[in-house]
Amino acid sequence: MFQIIDKKDLAPSIKQFVVDAPLVAQKARPGQFIILRIKEGGERIPLTIADYDTQKGTITIVFQEVGKTTKELGTLKAGDYLADFVGPLGKAVEFSNHKKVLGIGGGLGVAPLYPKLKMLHENGAEVISIIGAKTADMLIMEEEIKAVSDKTYVCTDDGSKGRHGFVTVVLKELLEQGEKFDEIIIIGPPILMKIGTEIAKPYNIPIMVSLNPIMIDGTGMCGGCRVTVGGETKFVCVDGPAFDGSKVDFDELMKRLQTYTSEEKLALDKYHSERGACKCHQ
């Protein structure tokens, strides 16, 4: 059992947990993820590590309440326990002597972006960041990102904060202005990573994306998370989650994410009816 030490609401439906998991924290590195299970009979869900504290033995995770499991997760409070918390999984990211980096985070993607930028910042790289969300109140971790960035652009889809528009618009502008980077990191919904990659690709700058497919074991055992990268099948859980964005088949990834849409709806409806929740907010 793993105790939730702290809980914070970052935005409507986006929550942050700090979880007591000393062994995981001991080995965690930027880019890695964990798999958790709330309780017996629960599903195993992967979440990218948003921060870790080796001294305190804690792992920070950020999640958005979209399906049954994440909604149920959101009802847990500080002091509650998770049945399982497995990790650190996946390959840690490595940056070789980067001098200047652009980090782009959209929506929940800002959370996994943070530890990478933090590491780059600590290593002395110049960090430019672009973060965005649908609306101002959906924007997360702005202060944290700013603290590890030399310059941060904020965007919202509705213009309620910062630039009006998608993060990719700023990306395009910076590249067109002739800004040079050693690497561009793009993390967010697959469609954002796809469009961002398409914009950046002609500039011949390495593009890193972090993928979020459906997983079960997270140890390379089932192959459910397979994606096509550079024409080869890769398992995101052991070969990733970070990949060279220019080689990823995003269309396949997006299709595969739809596999259980009807089952996810069924599970959520059942959850709501059992909890007697009103249906007006669904």
Partner 1 sequence: MPSINRSKTKTPMPSQDAKLRSKNFNEVALGYTEEDAINEAQRCLNCKKPSCMEGCPVQVQIPRFIKHIAEKNFESAISVIKETNSLPAVCGRVCPQEEQCEQKCVLAKRGDPVGIGRLERFAADWERQQGVKIPDKANPIGKKVAVIGSGPAGLTCAGDLAKLGYDVTVFEAFHEPGGVLIYGIPEFRLPKEIVKQEVDFLKKLGVKVQTDMVMGKVLTVDDIFEKGYEAVFIGTGAGLPKFMKIPGENYLGVYSANEFLTRINLMKAYKFPETDTPVKVGKKVAVVGGGNVAMDSARSALRMGAEEVYIVYRRSESEMPARKEEFEHAKEEGIIFKFLTNPTRIIGDEKGWVKGLECIQMELGEPDASGRRRPVPIKGSEFTLDMDTVVIAIGTGPNPLLIEATEGLKLNKYGYIETDEDGRTSKEGVWAGGDIVTGSATVILAMGAGKKAAQSIHEYLQGK
Binding site for partner 1 (CB under 8 A): 23-24, 26-27, 37, 41-44, 68-69, 83-89, 216-224, 226-228, 233, 238, 252, 255-256, 258-260, 263-264, 266-267, 270
222 is in an annotated binding site: yes
Minimum Å distance from CB 95 to partner 1? 21
Minimum Å distance from CB 213 to partner 1? 11
Residue 80 or 264 with smaller CB distance to partner 1? 264
Residue 41 or 202 with smaller CB distance to partner 1? 41
Strands 126-133 and 151-156, by their bridges, are parallel
Are residues 29 and 10 in contact, defined by beta-carbon separation less than 8 angstroms?
A: no
Query: In sequence order, which residues have a C-beta less than 8 Å from that of residue 141 and are 6 or more positions away?
Result: 10, 50, 62, 110, 111, 114, 131
Minimum Å distance from CB 110 to partner 1? 25
Question: d(Cα 31, Cα 243) in Å, to the nearest integer?
Answer: 11
Minimum Å distance from CB 272 to partner 1? 12
Minimum Å distance from CB 27 to partner 1? 6
95 is in an annotated binding site: no
Residue 189 or 224 with smaller CB distance to partner 1? 224
- Whether residue 202 has a cis bond before it, omega within 30° of 0: no
Residue 169 or 257 with smaller CB distance to partner 1? 257
Residue 198 or 252 with smaller CB distance to partner 1? 252
243 is in an annotated binding site: no
Give DSSP secondary structure letters for 199-256: HHGGGT--EEEE-----SSSSSSS-TTEEEETTEEEEHHHH-SEEEGGGB-HHHHHHH
User: Which phi and psi angles does 217 have, rounded to 5°?
Assistant: -85, -35
280 is in an annotated binding site: no
Residue 98 or 256 with smaller CB distance to partner 1? 256
64 is in an annotated binding site: yes
Query: Residue 190 — left, alpha, or beta (φ > 0 → left; ψ -120 to 50 → alpha)?
Result: alpha
Are residues 242 and 234 in contact, defined by beta-carbon separation less than 8 angstroms?
A: no
Minimum Å distance from CB 116 to partner 1? 19
16 is in an annotated binding site: no
Determine the Cα angle at 113 with ends 111 and 118, to 5°: 105
